[in-house]
Structures are given as C-alpha cells and as structure tokens.
C-alpha cells in the first residue's frame, strides 16, 4: 500500500481501495457499516477491523489510536474520536463514561455492569451480572430507560 496515498492527517474521508476488502474480516466490517447506514470509508473500515473482529472490547479513543498507529492505519486522533462518535450514533458502540473526562466505547451494546480499574484506566465486564433487591420508582411522567452500573476498583494496599 502506498503510504502517501492513504495518509490523511486532515481527518477527512476518502474512498475505500479495493485491496482493503480482500479478506473476510474486512468484508464483515463492510457489511456491519452498511447495515448501520454508514458509508464504508477507509477510516471507518480500518477502525472497524480493530474494534469488531476480536470479540467484545472496551476501548478509549487514545487506546484505539495507539492500535491504529501500530497497525499502520495512518489516522489522526481526531479522526478516531469522530469515528467512535459516528459508530456510537449508529448503534455499533455504547459510550460509557467511567470517570469525569474519559469515555470508553463498548462493542457490546447491551446494558451490562462494569468494573472500572482506577489508576489502570481499564474497563471490564462484571462476570455473572448483578442483582438489585430494590429499584426506585421513576419520577412522575418518566420510566427507567436503563440502569448503568460502574463499580470502581482500586488496588488493595499491601
Ligand atoms: Zn462491557
């Protein structure tokens, strides 16, 4: 692949080259994008391959950007941010705000509880789920849409 031809620091969208669709993973991503109503640009396909071909994952824009750099995907951090937001709006990802600033993006879009490992900047699923014995009544004129649970963990002091 010609690096110059695919390097696009402005973060704009360019067309998919036919060579990018030569493997099954790319075809799977292409189908996912078109099912979600997203035009399959090179950037979306490159990030989709990192996100959706390895089971359920929790990523931040920064961690996905580092993976894209390692995979020679030549994307800017801004493009990664924009693409994650587009995937989220299209229903392919769920955004989870674990702390005040940073968002995680979950490829499992179902509602499920998480552990957030403070200081390690990791979000992982709670195995086995979680049970509540008392749910509050919603405010008048409202219903509970979902219950997001993030359990913050920190290392024990030895
Ligand atoms: Zn999760």
What residues does each domain of the chain span?
3-97
Q: What's the gap in Å between 127 CA and the centre of ligand 1?
A: 10
Q: What's the gap in Å between 109 CA and the centre of ligand 1?
A: 8
Which residues have beta carbons under 5 A from ligand 1 (an ion)? 106, 108, 125
Which are the contacts of 105, defined by CB distance < 8 A and separation ≥ 6? 51, 58, 59, 60, 61, 64, 84, 87, 88, 93, 94, 95, 96
User: How many angstroms separate the CA atoms of 63 and 72, rounded?
Assistant: 14
CATH of segment(s) 3-97: 1.10.10.10
pTM of the model: 0.79
- Confidence class of residue 129 from pLDDT cuts 50, 70 and 90? confident
Q: What's the gap in Å between 60 CA and the centre of ligand 1?
A: 12
pLDDT surpassing 50 at residue 87:
yes
Q: Give residue 133's Cα distance to chain centre.
A: 31
């Amino acid at each position: 692949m010609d690096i110059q031809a695919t390097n696009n620091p402005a973060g704009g969208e360019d067309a998919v080259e036919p060579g990018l669709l030569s493997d099954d993973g790319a075809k799977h991503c292409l189908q996912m994008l078109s099912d979600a109503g997203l035009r399959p640009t090179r950037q979306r396909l490159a990030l989709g391959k990192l996100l959706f071909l390895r089971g359920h994952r929790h990523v931040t824009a920064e961690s996905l950007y580092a993976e894209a750099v390692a995979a020679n995907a030549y994307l800017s951090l801004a493009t990664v941010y924009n693409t994650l937001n587009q995937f989220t709006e299209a229903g392919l990802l769920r955004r989870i705000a674990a702390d005040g600033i940073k968002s995680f993006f979950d490829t499992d879009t179902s509602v499920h509880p998480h552990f957030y490992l403070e200081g390690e900047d990791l979000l992982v699923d709670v195995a086995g789920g979680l049970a509540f014995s008392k749910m509050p009544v919603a405010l008048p004129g409202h219903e509970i849409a979902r219950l997001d649970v993030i359990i913050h963990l920190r290392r024990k002091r030895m």
